[in-house]
Structures are given as C-alpha cells and as structure tokens.
Structure 1
Amino acid sequence: MRFLRQFKSILQLHLKAKQRICSELSWFPKMQSPKSVRNAQTQHGEGSSVDVENIFLHRFMLSLEPVLEVNNIGGQDASASPAPECVWFHSVTDVETAEKEDPSPTVSLTKELTEESSATEKRKAESTEDEGKAKKAKFDDDKDRKTKRPGFSDERYDETSYYFENGLRKVYPYFFTFTTFAKGRWVDEKILDVFVREFRAAPPEEYERSLEAGKLTVNNEKVPKDYKIKHNDLLANVVHRHEVPVTSQPIKIVYMDKDIVVVNKPASIPVHPCGRYRHNTVVFILAKEYNLKNLRTIHRLDRLTSGLLLFGRTADKARELEQQIRTRQVKKEYVCRVEGRFPDGIVECSEPIDVVSYKIGVCRVSPKGKDCKTTFQRIGEDGDCSIVHCKPLTGRMHQIRVHLQYLGYPISNDPLYNHEVFGPLKGKGGDIGGISDEQLINNLISIHNAENWLGVEGEIKEEIKSSADDKVQREIKAEPVMAVSVKEPNADATTQTCHEEPDRSYDLKKCTTDPHCHECKLNYREPEEKDLIMYLHAWKYKGLNWEYKTELPDWACKTKINYEEL
C-alpha cells in the first residue's frame, strides 16, 4: 500500500511537471487531473468524442501506459482508479492536496521522470516548429478554445430560449458549432465524403455549401471540398439548429437539499444533451428555469420513460450514490402497462441480455449477454392490458423492456420492443424470426426512418416566412411552469429555485433564420401524445438511509390499486 501511495505521488508529480512544461508551449491547454477526462460536444451531440483540451491529456495518459505496466503489482493494474465521477472537471488543487498527504516519492524514479520531461520539451518544441501554422491555428483564438470546453456556461444556456405551444415545449432555432477531432477512419478521405457518409443530419449539398461558405472548417481554416483529412485535424461545423419539441409538462422537484436534487422527469425529455436535443433536456431546463446548474448525473432514464431522477449537487454525494447503485445497494421499483393479462403471482426472469447495437441502442436476450434478473407482479388490469410492478435486481440497458418482450408481455406502447421488426412473435421467447443481429439492426434503422414522427408535413416552403401574419402570437395550451418551493431538511425556510420564465407565447423577434438552412424550409409534423410517452415509470428508489418516490402517472392510476402496500 505504501508503494502504491508513493507511485501515486510520483504520477501526480509527473503530471505537474508536464503541466509546467506544456504551459511554456502556446499550443498546450491547462493540464487537468487525470480523472477529469471527459467527452465533449461533437456532430453527434455532446458526449461522444474527446474535446479540444482533453485530446492532449488523452495522449499524455496513453504515453504513461508503459510506466504503469512496469509497476504492476501482484497482477493488479496500478493505474486503476475509482469509477468515473459525475463531474466535468476537477481543480488542479486536487493534485496538490494529494502531494501534501504523502510527500515522500522515490527519488530515483522522480529523476527519471524529470529527465523524460526535459526530453519531451525538446521534442515538442522541435515538432511545433515543423508542424507550421496549420497546427497552431487550432488554438490561436482563446475565445474559440474556451467555447469548446466541456460542461456548460451561462453563454451556452443563453443560446436560445423556450416557448410553449399546443402542449409542447419548443426551442427557438439557434446557431451552434459542432466540433470534433478527426477519427482514424477518416484520415486521407475527402472531407465532403466523410460528412455525407457519417453525418446524415443534412443533405450533401448543405455540407458542400458550408465548405464553400467557410462554415465547415478544419483547424479554424476554410478548406476546399476535396481536402483530405489528416490526423489530429479539428473539424468545426456551424449549423442553424432546430431542436425537437418535448412535452410542456413541468419537471417537478421531489426533494432537494445542499447535496442532492431529486426530480420527477416527464416522458419525452432526455436527461442530457444528445442527438437533436440540447436545451430540451432535463439538465438544461433545471439550469435555465430553476437555476440548478452544474448538477452531477448519477443515473439516467430513457427519453420516453418518466419518473425518479437523481442528481448530485456535490461530487462527494454523486460518488456516494453512484457507488450504491453500482454495488446494487439501491432497490428500484417501476410500474408499467403491458399487453395482455399478465400471469398471477411473482414472475421472475433471469435471461441474460446482450447489446445488439450501442449506436442505435437496442438489446435482446442472448446467451452471449450479461446476467440480469427482474421480478414482475400484476397489480391491476386495464381492459386488455395489465398494470405490472417491476423490480430490476440488476441494471442492464433496457432490462425491464427486454425481459417483458421475452416473456411475451411487451409494454403496450413501446415503439422499439413491441414491434414486428423482431419477428412474428415480436421477440417472445427470444424468437426474432430467424434473422441475424446485423439484419435486425438494418431492419430497425429502416423502420425507425419510416415511422419516425419527425416527418415532413405538406410541401417545402417556397421561402422562409417573415410576413406580418407571423407576428400574430400563437394560442398557448400548455400549463405555465411555476416556481417551485422546496423545504430544506430540518428547516422551515423555503428555497425559491425559479430562474428564467419561459415565453408563454411565440415571439417572432426571438426566432432566428438562415436562408441556407434546409430545416427552415420544412414543415415538420408535430409529435402527438402517443409519440411522447411510453407506459414505463420509475416509481421508487431506496438506498442506504434514504428513499424517494414520485406520484404515479395518469395511465397507472386508472385501476383500483393500493400502491402503498407494495
């Protein structure tokens, strides 16, 4: 144990040495703690690629792997660290504090690290001169560099605002810059070919126009459409972003204190930015309307699933609850509505679940999967459907939905697992119609594209409307989102958390347009209620010395059930 502490101190000293060295080089950003490696925003949305600053830290950590392997003790990885924390960045003071705790590293190894750092400085200095202006262009603009940091700032929250219409929460279109470093598979390919193949959010002619206009850049420079991507190229694309509407139902705060926030998430709202969602997400809504910023995500719920969602307000609390969930010390209870009359008594399903595709997020029961277990109990009936109480004893992806599909009682309005794409039996008993997983994925993609409610309604607009008729304020049917008063534990005072009041009606002055934006010229069909909800609700979570539960949704209250006895 003492050697491990010494090794940790040496590694931290090495990090500080690298920081001092790299601070003298104009192209290297401020070093962060190794635990702080986090993904940032890319063309796919936030959370799928290494960001501008972390890319160099990522390379540095890779360079340490040989050193870590030499110091492997007893077959255990000396570089192993606790599970990732739900924070974007830690302060460098964390490293300094750790050094104070154990200031006695091995002198010989420290000397070697210092010599290696000196040699690295020379190599970096020489390579920087050789790379030329193209490489330096990435970091010449401090402002641009700042906007690419992970996490969220007030500037990002202020990109746009909300308005309510027809029972939906909508976001005014806004300009946004997607950034990503070149993937290995893109190297030596033409930039236009890569965007047409990898990013299908816009038609090919849109990417070609963006290249010609300088909105799609490489290392902050305009490039021709036949430019061949190189290693470490920073790609940036300025887009006029249109977000998908979500329900106007407010996010209700179940409990809040200085360490934690517990909310009741309505169906249709994603937890964090992903895909076409950014401001219409739980973390953005809580920040903009309740002034609850910098929350740590402890767990997640599917976009269409409603119910309990926990956030940490401090890193320590987030780590504590994450650990409880990871070690299965948290008991979870869900309520769902399934097709058919579910069997009597407690039904247990222990079939292993395998992820067929992480890209599109689909799983199935398979012998190759991971062990998991769920218990079910019918607690009511609603016509030809049953209300079922679910207890997932493990935490696999889509566990409840996949196990119900396997049992032959899928959630009645599950758009994914209650579909003939899984075969005539809809996946009952693991039967997917004799097709391969690859064919299943292809079928799911085609079905998704054909049945997605984001269809075009009517003809494409001749031009972007800006007539006086558009200035007429639209009728709003949504209920207003009110300020929430939450009692602090053991305190009589309440805390007002409302921050930004959304528009009650559409304001033309807040709507931005782009004459070249293909989405501005389309009339999207608005989602209906059936598109926004799935009959699955996270009802109760119980951990060590804590327990939270929500009120039940309307669809679960139609039957006469004494839920308090469960």
Structure 2
Amino acid sequence: MALTSVDTTQVPPNPVKKPPKVAITPCEPPTDPYYFEGGLRRVRPYHYTYNTYCKERWRGRELVDIFISEFRDRPPEYYREALAAGKVSVNGKPAGLHTIVKNGEVISHTLHRHEPPVTGQEIGIIHEDDGLVVIDKPAGVPVHSAGRYHYNTVIEILRAQRGDAWLPRPCNRLDRLTSGVMFIAKHPKAAEMVASKLKERSVHKEYVTRVKGKFPDGVVVCDQPIMQVSPKLGLNRVRATGKTATTKFRRLAYYPPHDPEPTVGTGERAATPPPVFANEQEGYSIVHCLPLTGRTHQIRVHLQFLGHPITNDPIYSNRRVFGPELGKNEDTADRDDEIMERLNHMGKTEVPDTVSYRTHLTAAPLVPPGTDTSVVEQIMSREHEAAVHEYHKRKGERLSGEKCDVCDTDLYTDPGVHELGIFLHAVAYSDDAGDWKYRSKMPSWALPPPGMDGPREVPDWQPVPEEDEVVIGHGTVPEGMEDDEKPRGQGNVPALVRGVGLVDISSASRPQQEQ
C-alpha cells in the first residue's frame, strides 16, 4: 500500500472553538478571609462566580432542572429567581430557565457566597521534604473547593499559610468528614511519582473507626459492590450492579456501655460530661480497616451493610433516614426514594439523629461532706438544665430562619461539634515494598474511656490466611472483570463465602476517591 503525505499545516474548515473566558469574579477576593470564633475557622461572606463545564449527565437538560436536582445549597425558588434575573450564563451569554445545556459549554453562576465554618484545628505536618508534605488532615475540612466551600479547604488554608505563589498538589483525597494522612506534592514531578504509586495499587492504606455495637472477632472481609444512588445527596449504597469494592475489618477493642467518670474540677462543681451517641448505648467498637479498593464512602457503606455503622455518621448511621435497622443487609433499591426524601431534609429543618443526651449521666457536683441533700439536688438540677441547654444549642447545622441582608438567602446555624467530622481516620499509608510508611496518632475518640484498658496506638495490620477470613458478599470476581480491576490480596474464590443475600454477622466468631 502506498503512503500518502498529509499537509499538517492546513486548518480544518470547522475548527472547534474554545469557550469564552467567563471565569470573572465580580469583586477582588478577600486578602485575609479567615477569622476565628468559638473554636471555628470562619470566612466572611463574599461574591463569587462558579464556573463549570457541562457534565455528561447534564447534556440536553434545561438549566432549571439541573440546578434544582443537582444542588441543595439554596432552595429551588432561589435558583429560579437567579436564572430569571440573568445571574447564570452559558458561554458568557445570559441564560434563562429553559436554556438547554450542550456538551462543552461553560455554565457560570455569580452569587454571594456564605461558607460554613470548619474546625479551628491546624493542619498537622507528619513529614516534609523537598518534594512532599505529608499532612494530618483535620476532620470536617474539605480538600478542594466544592459546594459551599472554597477558602475553608485544605488547599486554600495551606496557600494562605505558605503564600499564594505556592501551588499545593493533593495526591490523594479524603472525604470532608474524614481525618488523617494525606500527601501534598510541592511540584509536578513529586505529584506524578505519588500518583503512579497510587495507580499501581502499591500503596497500603489503613483506617481506624468507631462503630455501633460489638464488632465480630477475627478478620471480616466485605466485598459487596457499591454504586452511587444520589450525587446531590452524596448517597452510596450496596448494589449487585455497583462497582467492585472490598474492605477488610478487624476489631481492636470493644467498650460496653459505661458511665463516664466525674471530671474532677477546681471549682464547686464537676464538669458536665459530653452527650453520649445514641448508637453507642449498646457499647461501641474500635475497628481497624484495610480498604483494597477506593470507592466513594466505601468503608462507611460496608460498615452500614454489616450492621455496625460509624456511630456519628450523619448519613449511614441516621435512624430518621434508614429506620431502626439502619440499612443493615440492604442491597436493593426498594427504599431508595423514601431514604433520599428523608435525607434531603437533613441539614435544613432537621438534624441527623445520631446523638442523644443521656440525662442520668450528669456528673455529681463537688460539695463538702455533710451538705444538705436538698442543696445537692438543686445543684444537680441546675447542672442538668445547663447541660441540656448547651446540648440543644449545638445540635447541628440547620436553617436558622434568618436571611442575609445582602443577598436575601436563607442562613444556617453553626454545625455542632459532632458534625465537624466522623469517627473515621486514615491512620497510615505505606509502600507495599516496605520502603516507607507514614502514620498519624490514634485519634482521641478511639482512645479507651477513663478507667478502661485498650489500645492507645493502632498496630500494623497483621494478615491472616484466607481460610481464616469471614467473607461477606459475592466472594468471587465477576465474570469478565479485567485483571487490573481485581482487588489486591483477593483470589478468585475465597475459602469461606456467605452469599449475597441477607447475612447477619453479629454472631460471627472471628488520586482515587477515598473515604
């Protein structure tokens, strides 16, 4: 066959046009956006223009449908009014309610931005060299700008500390509510090196968590597939048609229900103990987790399916949403609609039902011996009322009933302490070859309660023979799966399989997206 030369200097008759530059913020960004109050890092409201390319699932849909179905920061009425007022543009041109969005178009939306506060805890540094910073990410702080967050993110906080000229490059990403080890590259070469390790699956990840009830003994393997049910609500669930997901679990400690010891103070009274989580009234377990795949909310979803959800998880441990069984063993879509409807109210008019104040745990006051019992009862009553009042004050973020005097949008209350993060911590990352390992400390919520014995450090994961593992789920690799999709450490047929159906293990005897 003869070779035909091609003139590469010719321009196609209909070249693809680059979208116009529409990333224009209508005012200068704040030079010092942060201030601290009540233990929280806060950002003053400011104007901002969101810009995003049309996502695949948005193609051919009307703008009003996209905004109302995909975003929950504002009520539907706000988005309708914003579209009608020309606050939204497509490729730099004002758009209306019924504008159809096409592939490659850029959607811009200018608004007065109100960022939620995050913890005032500083970002910890575990290791730093010329190319890499290994951080200990605080719970409740998102990594990238998304949704209502921009300056209150790991990236922007680090830039504020080290100068705008420094461009941090996250190599892995933890969910906003999750804390623990993260890699931040200082330059592209370091980012490429870490990314290649993650892509090759030669990095060993370990988590520690605190779950409802007494987790079974031994190593439990859950390989139930997971699918995203609602991008808007961040809801993922076990589904036979979902993506392959495998997690290994091992209980480190179990702490039965107990009354906290009174705190000895220097004043007249003892300090009031914190609220006890409703899902911990039967006790709780500290569990070591080894995810072999990296699906969104993987550990959280698998623990819910096993009947031991993370005790303060505002989604998967919420009885108002999932009912008394908390979605245990559910792998069908039968209740999806009602679950999504209930979840949609959380953070607006209701708060997650994951906490409960146990009034009988109010600590006894420190009073001199022989004091009249009526005086003691009066002090106890005042302590109890103050504790209940403080608890309700911090119940959680919800609509406050007030409006912004600049943009007239509905305002939220501050998040409760328990909503600034969940009991899930990325405790260690290591190279499978054993060349390096970075580890953070055991989080405070995983330490043994006063007066009890338990681990104060997370031990290295100790593998066991496959025949000693309890496998919950498919237990086999689906036919047709590519070899590079098989989770590490799993053969094609594990020794012990407990089918796909309803499995109760409570009596058992033994830059991907991350949690």
TM-score normalised to structure 1 length: 0.59
CA distance 1:277–1:233, change in 2 (3 Å): same
Q: What residue in structure 1 maps to residue 291 of structure 2? A: 392
Q: Does 1:428 align with 2:328?
A: yes
Q: CA deviation at 1:304?
A: 0.9
Alignment of structure 1 residues 200-349 onto 2, 5 Å: 201-203=73-75, 206=78, 210=82, 215-217=87-89, 219-220=91-92, 228=99, 234-291=106-163, 293-349=166-222
CA distance 1:338–1:317, change in 2 (3 Å): same
Compute the RMSD of aligned alpha carbons: 3.6
CA distance 1:282–1:343, change in 2 (3 Å): same
CA distance 1:262–1:208, change in 2 (3 Å): same
Which of 161, 164, 171 is 2:33 aligned to? 161
Alignment of structure 1 residues 433-512 onto 2, 5 Å: 435-447=334-346, 449-452=348-351, 453-457=396-400, 459-460=401-402, 464=405
Cα deviation 1:506-548 (Å, max 9, x = unaligned): xxxxxxxx2xx023xx553111111112111110100142210
More helix by share: 1
- Equivalents in 2 of 1:167, 1:536: separation in Å? 21
Q: CA deviation at 1:255?
A: 1.0
Q: Does 1:547 align with 2:410?
A: no
- Equivalents in 1 of 2:231, 2:58: separation in Å? 21
CA distance 1:108–1:431, change in 2 (3 Å): closer
SS at match of 2:198: helix
Q: Does 1:538 align with 2:426?
A: yes
- Equivalents in 2 of 1:227, 1:523: separation in Å? 28
Q: Kindly provide the amino acid, as one letter, of the partner of residue 333 in structure 1.
A: E
SS at match of 1:426: coil
Q: CA deviation at 1:359?
A: 4.0
Cα deviation 1:228-257 (Å, max 9, x = unaligned): 557576543321111011111111111111
- Equivalents in 2 of 1:358, 1:208: separation in Å? 21
CA distance 1:427–1:199, change in 2 (3 Å): closer
Q: CA deviation at 1:555?
A: 0.8
Q: Is the 8 A contact 1:423 1:431 kept in 2?
A: no
Q: Kindly provide the amino acid, as one letter, of the partner of residue 412 in structure 2.
A: Y
Cα deviation 1:107-162 (Å, max 9, x = unaligned): 84543x44xx33x2x445xx99xxxxxxx9x74xxxx55759xxxxxx98756510
Alignment of structure 1 residues 412-427 onto 2, 5 Å: 412-420=311-319, 421-427=321-327
Query: What fraction of aligned residue pairs are identical, expressed as a percent?
Result: 39
Instruction: Name the stretch that deviates more: 204-213 or 534-543.
Output: 204-213
Which of 287, 306, 329 is 1:407 aligned to? 306
Q: CA deviation at 1:172?
A: 0.7
TM-score normalised to structure 2 length: 0.64
CA distance 1:394–1:206, change in 2 (3 Å): closer
Q: Does 1:375 align with 2:258?
A: no
Q: CA deviation at 1:385?
A: 0.8
Q: How many equivalent residue pairs?
A: 379
Q: Kindly provide the amino acid, as one letter, of the partner of residue 402 in structure 2.
A: I
- Equivalents in 2 of 1:380, 1:189: separation in Å? 51
SS at match of 2:398: coil
| Unaligned residue ranges in structure 2 (runs of 5+) | 257-282, 352-395, 461-515
- Equivalents in 2 of 1:402, 1:207: separation in Å? 32
- Equivalents in 2 of 1:219, 1:416: separation in Å? 36
Q: What residue in structure 1 maps to residue 416 of structure 2? A: 528
- Equivalents in 1 of 2:226, 2:61: separation in Å? 37
- Equivalents in 1 of 2:225, 2:124: separation in Å? 35
Q: Is the 8 A contact 1:207 1:216 kept in 2?
A: no
CA distance 1:207–1:316, change in 2 (3 Å): same
Alignment of structure 1 residues 27-38 onto 2, 5 Å: none
Q: Is the 8 A contact 1:405 1:426 kept in 2?
A: yes
Q: What residue in structure 2 maps to residue 48 of structure 1? A: none
Q: CA deviation at 1:550?
A: 0.9
Q: Is the 8 A contact 1:267 1:533 kept in 2?
A: yes
Cα deviation 1:272-324 (Å, max 9, x = unaligned): 11111111000110111233832222111111111111122222322222222
Q: What residue in structure 2 maps to residue 470 of structure 1? A: none
- Equivalents in 2 of 1:248, 1:550: separation in Å? 19
SS at match of 2:157: helix
Instruction: Name the stretch that deviates more: 265-274 or 420-429.
Output: 420-429
Q: CA deviation at 1:390?
A: 1.4
Cα deviation 1:57-114 (Å, max 9, x = unaligned): xxxxxxxxxxxxxxxxxxxxxxxxxxxxxxxxxxxxxxxxxxxxxxxxx984543x44
- Equivalents in 1 of 2:80, 2:209: separation in Å? 47
Q: Kindly provide the amino acid, as one letter, of the partner of residue 532 in structure 1.
A: L
Q: CA deviation at 1:565?
A: 4.4
Q: Is the 8 A contact 1:160 1:174 kept in 2?
A: no
SS at match of 2:445: helix
Q: CA deviation at 1:405?
A: 1.5
Cα deviation 1:446-472 (Å, max 9, x = unaligned): 456543543233x536x84xxxxxxxx
Q: Is the 8 A contact 1:377 1:388 kept in 2?
A: yes
Cα deviation 1:330-386 (Å, max 9, x = unaligned): 111111111112222222223333333344332222322333332222222333111
Instruction: Name the stretch that deviates more: 326-335 or 367-376.
Output: 367-376
Q: Is the 8 A contact 2:349 2:399 kept in 1?
A: no
Q: Kindly provide the amino acid, as one letter, of the partner of residue 271 in structure 1.
A: V
| Unaligned residue ranges in structure 1 (runs of 5+) | 1-105, 129-135, 149-154, 465-513
